């Protein structure tokens, strides 16, 4: 009975009015998939523009599978967490080769695709295919921990299982997709991380966390490790109206183009020696600016330097880009300031 009350109250509240988000106007599995991947770690308001541009360019699985990774990363530029785009690409190719270009309507098969974890599989299964599956993201976990006054630390396999099982009990068989959306909406608008709106919450009468006065302190999260600060010299190496970019192979920002850089070095001689080791002879020109970028675990504090190369030596993964190419290649937000400075210099404004 309590289970039915909770589900009914949450759905009734959702039905009274919710955010009109573009992916809520469709049940198309492909579109739901794209939205769910973009929404991982990113706010809905930020995702809207990316989602619409992405679907205009990639209207179906096949068009996505046939894209080059470089073009796909360009459409992802600025959204961050670029491994999501790389996995999306691989998954689209798998869907074409194994499922004829249509997303499978099966929880286990969805879960087996690159980039699709338990939450995303549950969300696609329930919203697009009407399967009564649990979709537990951080928002939903917070609602459940507070509603049930679960004080154990979240993030452990045991807690993940307990919360998923609880949500599974709550999912109504007749409206699993609406319930998944309603729970996400609860977490985003009502049971927010700070200052939950308990006074107007549709389930306040039966919320144990509220009754015990501990709602705002839940979920019980492990303290985050302090972010590591990396001091990087970013090298804008110019030569006859072009600037040097290199394709990153590392996991962080892999597949994107960045300017050559050097950790913990800022002396002109060290910068020139670094380039020399890459096979590029260059003379130091001066500091152009500073920038900072905060990743989840690392902070990049960047000093941006200009250098003039003797010639455009070919290096593996390197591109000597003119202003047009510099604007067209996929670069991460982390080097946005450096790109602006490079463009200003290439266009004679700096
Ligand atoms: S009453 Fe408060 S803590 Fe409980 S579910 Fe509602 S908003 Fe969250």
Q: What is the pLDDT of residues 110-156, one digit of tens each?
A: 999 999 999 999 999 999 999 999 999 999 999 999 999 999 999 99
pTM of the complete model: 0.85
In whole angstroms, what is the distance from residue 26 CA to residue 127 CA? 9
Query: What pLDDT is recorded for position 231?
Result: 96
Query: What pLDDT is recorded for position 23?
Result: 96
Among 4, 36, 249, 308, which one carries the catalytic annotation?
36
In whole angstroms, what is the distance from residue 350 CA to residue 348 CA? 6
- Which numeric CATH code is attached to 2-217? 1.10.340.30
- How many angstroms from the chain centroid is the CA of residue 216? 26
Question: Cβ < 6 Å from ligand 1: which residues?
Answer: 143, 146-147, 190-191, 196-198, 201, 203-204, 207, 209-210, 215
Query: What pLDDT is recorded for position 176?
Result: 97
Percentage of residues in the chain having pLDDT higher than 70: 100
In whole angstroms, what is the distance from residue 314 CA to residue 307 CA? 17
Give residue limits of the domains in the chain. Answer: 2-217, 228-346
Taking residues 179-208, report their average pLDDT.
96
What is the 3-state secondary structure of the chain?
CHHHHHHHHHHHHHHHCCCCCHHHHCCCHHHHHHHHHHHCCCCHHHHHHHHHHHHHHCCCHHHHHHCCHHHHHHHHCCCCCCHHHHHHHHHHHHHHHHHCCCCCCCHHHHHCCCCCCHHHHHHHHHHHHCCCCCCCCHHHHHHHHHHCCCCCECCCHHHHHHHHHHHHHHCCCCCHHHHHHHHHHHHHHHCCCCCCCHHHCCCHHHCHHHHCCCHHHCCECCCCCCCEEEEEEEEEEEECCEEEEEECCCCCCCCCEECCEEECCCCHHHHHHHHHHHCCCEEEEEEEEEEEEECCCEEEEEEEEEEEECCCCCCCCEEEECHHHHHHCCCCHHHHHHHHHHHHHHCCCC
Q: Which atom of ligand 1 is nearest to the CA of 190?
A: 7
- For residue range 289-303, list pLDDT tens digits in order: 999 999 888 999 999
Give distance in angstroms: CA of 186 to centre of ligand 1: 9
Taking residues 20-46, report their average pLDDT.
95
- For residue range 252-295, list pLDDT tens digits in order: 888 899 999 999 888 999 999 999 999 999 999 999 999 999 98
Query: What pLDDT is recorded for position 251?
Result: 78
Query: What pLDDT is recorded for position 149?
Result: 97
- For residue range 216-245, list pLDDT tens digits in order: 999 999 888 889 999 999 999 999 999 999
- Which numeric CATH code is attached to 228-346? 3.90.79.10
Give distance in angstroms: CA of 218 to centre of ligand 1: 10
* Residue of 147, 188, 205, 206 with the most ligand 1 atoms within 8 Å of its CB, for mutation: 147
Place 167 in a pLDDT band, splitting at 50, 70 and 90: very high
pLDDT exceeds 90 at position 308: yes
Query: What pLDDT is recorded for position 249?
Result: 85
pLDDT exceeds 70 at position 200: yes
* CB-based burial label for 221 (10 Å; 0-12, 13-18, 19+): middle
Place 68 in a pLDDT band, splitting at 50, 70 and 90: very high
Distances (CA, A) of 83 to 47, 98, 101, 207, 226: 16, 22, 22, 38, 23
Taking residues 178-196, report their average pLDDT.
95
Query: What pLDDT is recorded for position 1?
Result: 59
> 114-121 long-range CB contacts below 8 Å, 24 or more apart?
114/87, 114/88, 114/90, 115/37, 115/83, 115/84, 115/87, 115/88, 115/90, 115/91, 116/33, 116/91, 118/164, 120/33, 120/36, 120/37, 120/40
Q: Is 267 a catalytic residue?
A: no
Give distance in angstroms: CA of 10 to centre of ligand 1: 11
- For residue range 10-31, list pLDDT tens digits in order: 999 999 998 899 999 999 999 9
């Amino acid at each position: 009975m309590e289970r039915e009350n909770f589900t009914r109250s949450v759905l009734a509240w959702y039905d009274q009015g919710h955010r009109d988000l573009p992916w809520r106007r469709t049940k198309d599995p492909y579109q739901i998939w794209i939205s769910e991947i973009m929404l991982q770690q990113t706010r809905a308001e930020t995702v809207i523009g990316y989602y619409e541009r992405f679907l205009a360019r990639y209207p179906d699985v096949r068009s996505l599978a046939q894209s080059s990774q470089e073009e796909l990363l360009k459409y992802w530029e600025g959204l961050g967490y670029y491994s999501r785009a790389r996995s999306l690409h691989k998954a689209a190719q798998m869907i074409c080769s194994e499922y004829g270009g249509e997303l499978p309507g099966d929880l286990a098969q969805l879960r087996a695709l690159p980039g699709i974890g338990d939450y995303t599989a549950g969300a696609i299964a329930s919203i697009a295919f009407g399967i009564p599956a649990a979709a537990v993201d951080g928002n939903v976990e917070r609602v459940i921990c507070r509603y049930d006054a679960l004080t154990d630390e979240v993030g452990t396999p045991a807690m993940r299982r307990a919360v998923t099982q609880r949500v599974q009990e709550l999912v109504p068989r007749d409206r699993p997709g609406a319930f998944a959306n309603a729970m996400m909406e609860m977490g985003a608008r009502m049971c927010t991380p700070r200052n939950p709106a308990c006074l107007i919450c549709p389930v306040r009468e039966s919320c144990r966390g509220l009754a015990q006065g501990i709602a705002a302190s839940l979920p019980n999260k492990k303290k985050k490790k302090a972010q590591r600060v990396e001091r990087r010299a970013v090298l804008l190496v110019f030569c006859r109206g072009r600037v040097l970019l290199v394709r990153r192979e590392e996991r962080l920002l892999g597949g994107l183009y960045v300017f050559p850089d050097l950790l913990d070095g800022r002396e002109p001689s060290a910068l020139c020696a670094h380039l020399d080791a890459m096979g590029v002879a260059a003379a130091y020109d001066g500091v152009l600016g500073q920038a900072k970028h905060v990743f989840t675990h690392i902070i990049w504090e960047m000093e941006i330097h200009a250098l003039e190369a003797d010639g455009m030596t070919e290096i593996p993964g390197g591109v000597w880009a003119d202003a047009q190419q510099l604007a067209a290649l996929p670069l991460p937000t982390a080097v946005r300031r450096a790109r602006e400075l490079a463009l200003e210099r290439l266009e004679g404004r700096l």
